[in-house]
Amino acid sequence: MTTEQQKKKNDIVRFTVSYDAKDNEYAKHRIDADQLIEIVTNMKELINRADRTIHRRQSTVKLYLQAPVQSGSVEVPFLLDNASNAMAVLEYLGFAAGAAVTTFTGKGVLDVIKKTKGKSILEVKTTDKSNEATLVLDGKELTVDKKVARLVTNSKLRENIQQIVSVPLEGKIEPKFKVKLFEELLEDNNEQLNEVVAKEVRTVEFEQSQVKMIENMDISLVPEIHTEEKEATIALTQISFTGSEKGWKMSYNGKIDVSVELLDENFIKKINKNTASFRKGDLFNVTLRITTRITGKRETVRYSIVKVKNHMASADRKIVSDQLEKREDE
């Protein structure tokens, strides 16, 4: 085998999806042509969505339909080029096990769906400080890799999984779905590029009850709640005279009179004692929390001041000073 031939073989990933049932179609290795088209179409969409999510909106792998195999019930064999990126896609989807997601408790998409039993995900929480995300279910939370969270909460991707796993098995007796991943075994004396020796290295299996679970899986939009904290300079344009967290407004990042929660109780006490020192538009150095809620194409933003660090005013008007706080800490 030439070096070029070996390189080509090493740069592909092979896997199959398998459908088992006791009927007069799958048991006899037959499948409806329209159904096969739907499987291939949804697999292509699934791979493309995962690829672009993982690789920053870049399409890095290409899906091929491999020549049909001879054994099994009904198996649809696929081939992906660009092996390293292809394996990352399959790992995040849960078709393969690997380094990409094994450090996180949730593993791949299929693992998360099994673990949550297809139940509705109410929201997903992310922060800029972590590569993990929290999936919020009814009475339960699950920590997963951030990219896995974005995949498993993508309504279109969940629909692709439904179309691949459960739809071809509707009405079948004792249905079973499998994804089989293969590793190529290269032989030095194998001169023919089209002669492939492959070993099955991983199988993900869905039994009858799990196929039914996928069929009933919720595919509605899941809101993402993203939280980040940053040091910022803001201008307070309205104070709350009730002494509560609500009722404050600020100017920030070109936006005027934006509603903001004030969570710094110490600052609230100080400004209530010395209201006369405040002037509309005074600048403050603060720790600002920005909470963004994304549902489909709709986005809402909420601001919270976690801590007021410095009042940028003359010494006789300063309500709070970072220099004073430093001396107190010492």
- CA 108/CA 77 separation, integer angstroms: 21
Total residue length of the chain? 330
**Strand arrangement, sheet containing 74-81:** 63-65, 74-81, 12-20, 176-184, 198-206
Domain locations in the chain as residue ranges: 3-105+149-215, 224-329
pTM summary value: 0.78
Residues sharing a CB contact under 8 Å with residue 30, sequence separation 6 or more, in sequence order = 74
In angstroms, the CA 40 to CA 45 distance is 9
DSSP string, 159-228: HHHHHHHTGGGTT-SS-EEEEEEEEE---TT---TT---EEEEEEEEE-HHHHHHHHT---S---EEEEE
The CATH architecture annotation of domain 224-329 reads: Beta Barrel (2.40)
Measured CA to CA, the distance from residue 315 to residue 212 in angstroms comes to 69
> Digits of tens for pLDDT over the chain (330 positions)?
444 444 445 688 999 999 999 888 888 888 898 999 999 999 999 999 999 999 989 999 999 988 665 454 688 999 898 888 999 999 999 988 654 444 444 589 999 999 999 889 999 999 999 999 999 999 899 999 999 999 999 999 999 999 999 999 999 999 999 999 987 655 555 545 445 566 777 888 999 999 999 999 999 999 999 999 999 999 999 988 777 899 999 999 999 999 999 999 999 888 888 776 788 899 999 999 999 999 988 999 999 999 999 999 888 888 887 665 554 444
User: Looking at residue 321, what is its pLDDT?
Assistant: 73
Tokens of 55: 């690789």
